[in-house]
Structure 1
Amino acid sequence: MKILDIGVLSERSGVPPSTLRYYEEIGLIQSIGRRGLRRQFGNEALTQLALISLGKTAGFSLEEIKAMLGKGGVSDLPRAAIHARADELETQIRRMTALRNALRHVADCPAESHMECPRFRRLVIVASKSSHRTRSAMPQKI
């Protein structure tokens, strides 16, 4: 087993030492010991950090990622939750693609005034309805 000093692990993973210490504190990664005051990690910590980064990018919380990593390095992937998150990302991608297309149209529209452009007016109506649906899906404060 190759042993990595916290500084080397930080350099190779791109994760600051303070974050590595925090991840260890909350149980996402484990050091295998110390050399003086410096934590030492096994090479598998690089893989764990890559998985943590992937999970964070996908929108999972650190608690959810911790549960997925499982105990003793045995992963416990909640496939239904991963499917649900993939579905949410698909919806977000569709919305962002529509927004990108709308912005490109606005930037390239030959109409003298955007309000004279029928396509722009339709986009405004669609955006308004989408915004209203998003707000009404959110819990209301009482």
Structure 2
Amino acid sequence: MKDIDIAEVAQLSGVRASTLRFYEEKGLIASHGRRGLRRLFDPAVLERLALIALGRAAGFSLDEIARMFAPDGRPRIDRHMLAAKADELDRTIRKLNAMRDGLRHAAACPAPSHMECPTFRRLLRAAASGKVGATKPVRLSRRK
């Protein structure tokens, strides 16, 4: 397959040319020539960009993603780093689930005001003590 220029890479990958130049500055991708003023890339850059996109979607920083590639450019993914990210995502999911449940309760609570709702008051105490956002979910009552 022939080399592709930066405009084609941007079109095929959905990554803006300015982002491609930034990735090249960070060492995440490498062009290997020019056609006029346009950088040229090996078509394999598209797979590398897909791996970068997957890493970004999972919440990895660009520096963490850069460490996922060997000096020759092939993927070298640390399984322990993946497991740690999965654990971090689990904690985030628990926190967001607790927040969602609290919001749903507050939206449907039959108490005359939120300040009279025992569940809402517990959420306020948890927020004041720093427990909202902690790794343990806030336990919500199912009473109405």
Deviation, structure 1 residue 80: 1.0
Deviation, structure 1 residue 124: 2.3
For 2:67, what is the secondary structure of its paired residue? Answer: helix
- List gaps (5 residues or longer) in structure 1: 135-142
Residue of structure 1 equivalent to 2:108: 108
- The number of aligned residues is 134
- In 2, Cα distance between the equivalents of 1:132 and 1:113? 24
Residue of structure 2 equivalent to 1:88: 88
Residue of structure 2 equivalent to 1:25: 25
Deviation, structure 1 residue 65: 0.8
Residue of structure 2 equivalent to 1:13: 13
- In 1, Cα distance between the equivalents of 2:51 and 2:133? 36
Residue of structure 1 equivalent to 2:65: 65
For 2:104, what is the secondary structure of its paired residue? Answer: helix
* Aligned residues with identical type, % of pairs: 53
Deviation, structure 1 residue 18: 1.4
Matched letter for residue 43 of structure 1: P
Displacement over 4 Å in runs of 4+: 131-134
Which is richer in helix? Answer: 1
- In 2, Cα distance between the equivalents of 1:23 and 1:106? 44
| CA distance 1:11–1:118, shift in 2 (3 Å) | same
Deviation, structure 1 residue 113: 0.8
- Give the TM-score, by structure 2 length: 0.82
| CA distance 1:132–1:41, shift in 2 (3 Å) | closer
- RMSD over equivalenced CA pairs, Å: 2.0
- In 2, Cα distance between the equivalents of 1:103 and 1:18? 39
Give the alignment of 1:39-54 within 5 angstroms.
39-54=39-54
Q: Which has the higher contact order (CA 8 A, sep 6+)?
A: 2
